[in-house]
Amino acid sequence: MYRKMGLGRQLLYQLLCLFITLTVLFPILWIVGMSLDARDISRPRELFPPEISLQAYERVLKLPTNNPVTFAQLALNSLMLAGGVALFSLAIGVSCAYILSRFDFRMRRFVMLAIITVLMLPAIATLAPLFVMLNRVQIADFNLRNSLLGVGIAMLSGALPFAIWNLKGYLDTIPTDLSEAARIDGASYNQTFINIILPLATPALAVTFFLGFLTGWTEFVLSWQFLTQPKTFTLAMALWNMVGQYSGDTPWSAFAAMALMVALPVGIVYLLLQKYIVSGLVVGSVK
């Protein structure tokens, strides 16, 4: 604020900030410490283990849960689901977002309201119909519900309105001058969209892709309900297997290593994109 602060006030504020830092870091330190514990006991209870090793990570990479599925397979499944859904929702959502952001037409309010309404719905609110509908698609041994493709379709149901809304929020902030100039110079609708709007929207596309990816990367409800074959399981399901009701025999060091390996890749990207993400979330929810 206006006055410069004195030393006493500075120290008081530093103490406060340090205290908040401690509360923020405590769970993270706890989990990092546990994951590095070398003693191979099932329930470590110190913040800083006496001896450190990476054996918990090694164990998780080999076989994180009792199910016959490796970490690599779980990560690959989550990667395919999250990446595929995010990419597809972007590809079919961007043109819709462009229209909603730039053009006025009859039905516009109706289309927007329909999208917002679906956007607010949690995945669980459409879980029952999607489950029974996809379950009826059975081709020989292949059941669409019990496959990554089926989970992807169900996830797209939530990811698509989110992508449209988020992209629309960003596109609203791009000045209209350039596209108008292009239109006056005789560019067709497609040329304006592909050559002017899409390049300007690249950061928005990247952020929206990432946010969609983030949701898919730890998606739990649909995959837990749909998938029964271990080779199609995802990271979030394995994490629940390690912490849930029947997880009494999971060593905590392995769980901690697993949690960190799930969280770190997306956490680092989030930190890098942070500035854009936050402004986007706020912009998206204002309009």
Q: What residues between 107 and 146 interact with other proteins by CB under 8 A?
A: 111, 114-118, 120-122, 124-133, 135-138
Distance of CA 239 to the CA centre of its chain: 16
- Comparing CB distances to other proteins, the nearer of 105 and 175 is 105
What's the closest the beta carbon of residue 150 comes to other proteins, in angstroms? 11
Residue of 74, 86, 164, 257 interacting with other proteins (CB under 8 A): 164
Nearer to other proteins, 202 or 275 (CB): 275
Q: Is 194 in the site for other proteins (CB under 8 A)?
A: no
C-alpha–C-alpha distance, residues 173 and 201, integer Å: 10
CA distances from 179 to 54, 191, 208, 284 (A): 54, 10, 22, 22
Asked if 57 and 254 touch (Cβ cutoff 8 Å), the reply is no
- On whether the CB atoms of residues 46 and 243 are closer than 8 A, the answer is no
Task: Identify the CA nearest to 277 among candidates 224, 189, 215.
Answer: 215
The type of residue at 69 is V
Quick one: which of 161, 212, 251, 280 contacts other proteins (CB under 8 A)?
Answer: 161
Residue position matching structure tokens 């959502």: 93
Residues 65-94, one symbol each (x = binds other proteins by CB under 8 A, - = not), give: ---------------------------xx-
Could you give the CA distance from residue 170 to residue 282 in angstroms, rounded to a whole number?
Answer: 10
Which residues touch 124 (CB under 8 Å, ≥6 apart)? 221
CB of 89 to other proteins, least distance (A): 9
**Of 15, 39, 47, 173, which one interacts with other proteins (CB under 8 A)?**
47
Interface residue with other proteins among 16, 63, 72, 181 (CB under 8 A) is: 16
CB of 229: closest distance to other proteins in angstroms? 17
Residue in the block written with tokens 């990247």: 206
Question: Binding string, 208-247, against other proteins, x = CB under 8 A?
Answer: ------x--xx-xx--xx----------x--xx-xxxx--
Which one among 73, 84, 266, 276 touches other proteins, defined by CB under 8 A?
Answer: 266
Could you say whether residue 198 binds other proteins (CB under 8 A)?
A: no
Min. distance of Cβ 93 from other proteins in angstroms?
Answer: 5
Instruction: Please select the residue that binds other proteins; options are 2, 50, 140, 202, rule is CB under 8 A.
Output: 2
Whole-angstrom distance, CA of residue 231 vs CA of residue 224: 13
- CA 198/CA 176 separation, integer angstroms: 13
